Amino acid sequence: MCKNQVHKKQTNRFNWKCVPAIIAAPSKVSTTVIIRMIDVGPYKLKNSLFLAPMVGVSDTPFREICTEAGAGLTVAEMLTSNAELWQNERNRLKRVKPTGIGPHVVQIAGSDPELMAQAAALNAELGADGIDINMGCPAKKVLKKAAGSALLKDAELVERILKAVVSRVDIPVTLKIRTGWSPETRNGVEIAKIAEGSGISLLTVHGRTRECRFKGYAEYDTIAGIKNAVSIPVIANGDIDSPRKAAAVLKHTQVDGLMIGRSAQGRPWIFAEIEHYLATGKTLPEIDLKTRLDIIFSHLMKLHSFYGDVKGVWYARKHVAAYVKELLESREFMKKFNTIESPAAQLDCVNAYFSRLDDGQQVDQRDEAA
């Protein structure tokens, strides 16, 4: 069980196995907290702050927005290793290289070593600068195909897949995992050593097991153990939602960088906030409404252009909801926004909403550490 629920037979006692101790965000950044500048193959990154490959979120428009907002690397949405399915529109769009993002990293998922190697080679031919292998997805539809985090149950198969992919391409291959299949079978260190021995260039670790999905808190002790066990760069992922939390995770785990997922949706400027805090020990002022509006406008126009007038309008709704959730009367605004059917009307609606706000009306629900 991964839910923070009371046991039926033990009143007022929690099941803690998916709820490790929380790392407190420090009041000040320590001078020992350093984010390392790392390379991915021949590519020099501007920083070691990565955008996670979130399905349905980390598409080409959002990757461009996050790069503009300070992310050092963005990873594309998970793509099946079955190339026969690549011609449908959704999978075709996942392979479109964003503009101005630095290395274009495509994430592939599957359980057959040969199909994975073929998928990596095809993506390299199509212009991918790096391949990321997904062994962390907890979704049931992925697990049914013995892919994603299901692979963590079979270390031998993990090794076969990694070696097959690395040997097939001349571009960097990275890996994303969880700490294990379940709290009882955490094998992140074992998988990390296999990855290093197989030629993986960089390893990202989400600090939960598959069983825990996104419940409880990320287990940074396990990530620290993984970092200590290998010499390849290790990136920590999970629950990094503020600059001070980022500093705390870096100090505790001694990893080489951080991957931000859900906390970047509706707040892509978190990358700039974290980079500034790590460099100076000071938090940036909350962005003003004009800057937020400019980012939303840019994102909307990218979505409309990339997906077209119909689907661009659909996909814009969830992103705008994330951007405005902290602002006054956002629920009422979204009720109206969600009924709009044209790109121009969406832009007009957003502009009208922001014109009714001023900086004094902005509601900041985050911890002041952010």
Q: Which residues are catalytic?
A: 137
**Residues 235 and 202 sit within 8 Å (Cβ to Cβ):** yes
Token digits of residue 235: 């990136």
3 state DSSP class of 201: coil
**Residues 322 and 265 sit within 8 Å (Cβ to Cβ):** yes
**CB atoms < 10 A from the CB of 145, how many?**
15
C-alpha distances in Å from residue 109, one per residue of 106, 123, 193: 10, 13, 20
- 355 contacts: CB under 8 Å, gap ≥ 6: none
Q: How far apart are CA 110 and CA 56, in angstroms?
A: 18
Residue 78, classified by CB atoms within 10 Å of its CB into exposed (0-12), middle (13-18) or buried (19+), is buried
In the chain, which residue ranges form alpha helices assigned H by DSSP? 60-68, 89-94, 113-125, 140-143, 155-168, 188-197, 220-229, 243-253, 270-280, 289-307, 309-324, 330-337, 343-355
Q: How far apart are CA 305 and CA 298, in angstroms?
A: 11
